[in-house]
Amino acid sequence: MIDFLAMGGYWPYVWGSYLVMAGLLLVEMIQLRYRRRSLMGWIRRMARLRAQEERQ
């Protein structure tokens, strides 16, 4: 296990590449989900407002 993590002494380069890639892909997906959620919230709020106006 230690051998695997050490990557023959190249661990800063190998893991520095793989982890940064994993991290950034994760950030991209989270950011997209957040953008979608806040937009959905906005559309729902507007729909509620419109429905209220129609009732009045």
Partner 1 sequence: MSERGIQWFRFTAPANFYDLAGRLIPWFAAVTVALFAVGLYLGLVVAPPDYQQGDSYRIIYIHVPTAWMGMFLYVLMAVYAAIGLIWRIKMADVMAKAIAPTGALFTFLSLWTGALWGRPTWGVYWVWDARLTSMLILLFLYLGYMALHAAIDDRQRASNASAVLAMVGVVNVPIIYFSVQWWNTLHQGASITVTDAPTMATIMFVTLMIMVLAAWMYSVTVVLARARVELLERERNARWVQERLEGGSK
Among 25, 26, 30, 49, binds partner 1 (CB under 8 A): 25
* Cα–Cα distance, 38 to 26 (Å, whole number): 18
Answer yes or no whether residue 36 interacts with partner 1 by CB under 8 A.
yes
Q: Which of 30, 42, 45, 49 binds partner 1 (CB under 8 A)?
A: 42
CA 11, 13, 18, 20 torsion-angle sign: positive
| Interface pick for partner 1 out of 26, 30, 45, 47 (rule CB under 8 A) | 47
CB-based contact 11:3 (threshold 8 Å): no
**Cα dihedral 40/44/46/47 (nearest 10):** 140
Judged by the rule CB under 8 A, the positions of this chain that interact with partner 1 are 4, 7-10, 12-14, 16-18, 20-21, 24-25, 28-29, 32, 35-36, 39-40, 42-44, 46-47
